[in-house]
Amino acid sequence: MGSQWGNNIKLSIFGESHGEGIGIVIDGLTPGMDLDWDYINFQMARRVPGKNKFSTARKESDRVEILSGILNNKTTGAPLCAFIKNSDKKSKDYDMLQSLMRPGHSDYPANRKYKGYNDVRGGGHFSGRLTASLVFAGSLARQILDKKGIKIVGRIKSIGNIVDVDIENDLDILNCIKNIDFPAITKEKEMQTLIEKVRLDRDSVGGVIEVVALGVKAGLGNPFFDSLESTISHMIFSVPGVKGIEFGKGFEISSMLGSESNDEYYFSENEIKTYTNNNGGILGGISNGMPIVVKVAIKPTPSIGKVQKTVNITTSKNSEVEITGRHDPCIVPRAVVVIESVMALAILDQMIGGSYE
């Protein structure tokens, strides 16, 4: 099972949505690092379920218990193991899923790969519940990056067909919304109205998250297989529900002329900058000193209350399924901190493995 990642910072996640708990083992942290628990708990609270009507009703505190790698609140250099207990489980909601394959979920391919032995309760090891572990690891990475002047800030770019304003030339606005539970700039009410509408209709909606890394100097990354884009993309696509990624102008850049898409350089107080940032701060797989701008497409939550067509693999007949249980009508607001976290981990992994100062 592909639950390990990293060249320099190595991560291994474990657990299932309705098991005893979930957790992560982090190897490669520098010894002597202090843990800021106020900061960690703040980031964990941004992802925690059950906060409002826009998220699942499942109640979890996501309190992190350290099993190894910390002594006197400092990293020891040994692998750090963190555990998060599951407390609000309703596993009976998933009894039927041994036979009925939910549309849009991993049920059928997982059943084929693991010969029916996979845990289906709440999605098991495939569940977005496991992203709590990534937020914890990301909060450590962000503390390290912060000391190097690097900030990771995300926002909701769109929900459904409601698109917020562009922030390419006004990054100060983006920086102001980093502590908001629903981090939109101008379209917050419209987006929330849409989420409530699909919730009442027993449906779901997706959206786009835009995340920016500020303060990354030129020279971070590599060409080809370990490019900065490759590392960031690998981590972001590891988050359940992610279906697309763009750097800078992304797909839009394909319709531009070279004279339009090239980011021209200029000097600003002995620093080299570009007038535009169409390439999202990365050229040749290496940072160019401009903000790294990434847009991430999040699909609608596949668990919806409407009756859907499916198959029963026990009877080998066509069937229908009506999903019960507690689910987010839109996972985008809670996923912002997850995308921020994995981007921080990707950047830190590249920094440790290179000559970045």
> How much is the pLDDT for 356?
67
> How much is the pLDDT for 344?
98
Q: Would you call 112 helix, strand, or coil by DSSP?
A: helix
The CATH number of residue 261's host domain is 3.60.150.10
Binding site listing: 47, 53, 125-127, 284, 299-303, 326
Binding site listing for NADP(+): 47, 53
What is the spatial distance between Cα 321 and Cα 308, in angstroms, rounded to a whole number? 5
| Secondary element (H or E) of residue 100 | none
Residue of 271, 251, 273 lying closest to 261 (CA atoms)? 251
Residue of 72, 300, 107 lying closest to 203 (CA atoms)? 300
Q: State the Cα torsion 97-102-105-106 to the nearest 10°.
A: 50
Instruction: Give the predicted TM-score (pTM) of the model.
Output: 0.93
Give the count of domains, the chain. Answer: 1
What is the spatial distance between Cα 352 and Cα 357, in angstroms, rounded to a whole number? 10
Q: What is the pLDDT of residues 75-127, one digit of tens each?
A: 999 999 999 998 865 656 567 778 999 999 999 999 999 888 888 877 888 88
Binding site listing for FMN: 125-127, 284, 299-303, 326
Q: What is the pLDDT of residues 186-229, one digit of tens each?
A: 999 999 999 999 999 999 999 999 999 999 999 999 999 999 99
Residue with tokens 């912002």: 336
Residue of 62, 81, 57, 59 lying closest to 70 (CA atoms)? 81
pLDDT at 57 over 60: no
Residues of the domain holding 140: 4-353
Q: What is the pLDDT of residues 141-178, one digit of tens each?
A: 999 999 999 999 999 999 999 999 987 667 777 777 76
Q: Which residues of 242-276 are buried (b: 16+ CB within 10 A; e: fewer)?
A: beebbbbbbeeeeeeeeeebebeeeeeeeeebbee
Bridge partners, residue 268, by sequence: 271
Q: What is the pLDDT of residues 279-333, one digit of tens each?
A: 999 999 999 999 999 999 999 999 999 999 999 999 999 999 988 777 889 999 9
